Amino acid sequence: MKAGPNILITGTPGVGKSTLSQQIAERSGLEWVSVSDLARDNLFYDGFDEERQCPILDEDKVLDELEDMIAEGGKIVDYHGCDFFPERFFDIVFVLTTNNTILYDRLAARGYQGTKLTENIECEIMNVIRDEAMDSYNNDIVHVLPSNSPEDMESNIERIILWIEAWKRDNGSSS
């Protein structure tokens, strides 16, 4: 039996995935796995994108590393992409979305500029991550949540915690 549900929290950079994931992990006892941190700590890269000034993720190495973790259950996986994760990995998928003006300010404050800033804003405008999730997973498990304000964050935390508690009841898990 899995230790708990496996949850994917995804969305464009800057929508609040890491903050939400950390808060849910603290309140639920599930383990937060930041794919970006996992890749950085283990050098799971396949080159460097000069135009965007960022490393290129080696998806195969990430998936190999996650395989046993996911089998254990009880993981909250946080990443800005989702189409390379197998559908069997997750019990539920949450896609965070943010108003473009708010997102622009968040990304600019992080130092994003040029192509990297423009492409991320366009990604959010065109619902790229939402569409990836809908195309990659059973639509019954994909939920789109607004992430514009502290109130949205708290509402999302409460909603996800309630879902985790229901999953544990339904699956006979007491952890």
CATH number at residue 48: 3.40.50.300
Of 2 and 127, the structure prediction assigns the larger pLDDT to 127
- Alpha carbons 28 and 162: distance in angstroms, whole number: 10
So what's the pLDDT on residue 174?
Answer: 56
Phi–psi pair at 47, nearest 5 degrees:
110, -170
pLDDT at residue 86 tops 80: yes
Summary mean pLDDT of the chain = 95
Q: Is residue 108 part of a domain?
A: yes
pLDDT band, residue 64 (cuts 50/70/90): very high
Q: Are 74 and 118 in contact (CB under 8 A)?
A: no
pLDDT at residue 140 tops 80: yes
Q: Is residue 76 part of a domain?
A: yes
pLDDT at residue 148 tops 60: yes
Residues 6+ apart with CB under 8 A from 70: 6, 77, 89
Q: Is residue 67 part of a domain?
A: yes
Q: Is residue 2 part of a domain?
A: no
pLDDT at residue 51 tops 90: no
Q: Is residue 112 part of a domain?
A: yes
pLDDT at residue 43 tops 80: yes
pLDDT tens profile 159-172:
999 999 999 999 98
So what's the pLDDT on residue 175?
Answer: 52
Domain that holds residue 27: 7-170
So what's the pLDDT on residue 6?
Answer: 98
Question: In the chain, how many domains are there?
Answer: 1
